[in-house]
Amino acid sequence: MDFRHVLPPRARRTLDHVTTAVSGPPVDPGLRVTLTFHPDHVSAGLPILAALARDGAYHSRFVTGTGTGTGTGNGGLTAHPGGDRTRWESRIFGGVYDDAEPPERPVCGAPDFRRQVVGTAPPGSAPRTSG
């Protein structure tokens, strides 16, 4: 199934970029995509899990303000203009989001190839922060 016709222009350009940059067979469409986040981290005064329940949406680190220079999570990638996460996303998404506002930026997940009940990042696999 191809959903490109219903995607925003940036998402379509990203898919085109990634499609030309990869090789190999397609990923099993039956794999679940898991989202990784720290439910106890705080965004705008609320724990991430509470904000997720309130908003009914999973937001990027650029929106939540988490992972913005603490040196933890995703290898210390930083979600602010000029930060490591910005450069990483620019590289993997072909610069499509370089000038995007925080709500337009991608949210990331990972296919659960191992089909683990805990998803792609079991508890304790990611660095922890305080505050």
Q: Per-residue confidence of the chain (131 residues) as pLDDT tens digits?
A: 567 678 889 999 999 999 899 999 988 888 888 887 778 888 888 998 899 999 999 888 888 887 655 444 544 558 888 888 889 899 999 999 999 999 999 888 888 888 877 777 665 554 443 33
**Distance between first and last Cα of the chain:** 42
What pLDDT was estimated at residue 56?
93
Structure tokens at 96: 């499509």
Q: Is residue 109 a contact partner of residue 34, using CB atoms and an 8 Å limit?
A: yes
What pLDDT was estimated at residue 12?
92
